[in-house]
Amino acid sequence: MLVNLEILDLSQNKFTSSIPSSIGNLTKLKGLSFLTNNFSHIIPPEVNNLTNLILDLSGNLLTGGIPTTLGELRRLETLNLSSNNLSGEIPSGFDDMSSLTSVDISDNQLRGPLPNNQAFHNATIETLRNNKGLCATEEFDNRYLIGVGGYGNVYKAMLSTVYECLEGGSLDKILNHETQEVAFDWNRRVNVVKDVANALSYMHQGCSSPIVHRDISSKNILLNLEYEAHISDFGTAKLLKHDSSNWTLFAGTFGYAAPG
Known active-site residue 243 = no
Q: Can you give the length of the chain in residues?
A: 260
Q: Which residues pair with 55 in a beta bridge?
A: 32, 79
Kindly state the helix (H) or strand (E) to which residue 72 belongs, with its residue range. Answer: none
Region label for 233, one of left (φ > 0), alpha (ψ between -120 and 50) or beta (otherwise): left
Q: Is 12 exposed, middle or buried (0-12, 13-18, 19+ CB in 10 A)?
A: exposed
Catalytic residue chosen out of the listed positions 56, 104, 215, 233: 215
Amino acid at 79: L
DSSP H helices, the chain, are 118-121, 171-175, 178-183, 186-201
* Positions marked active-site: 215
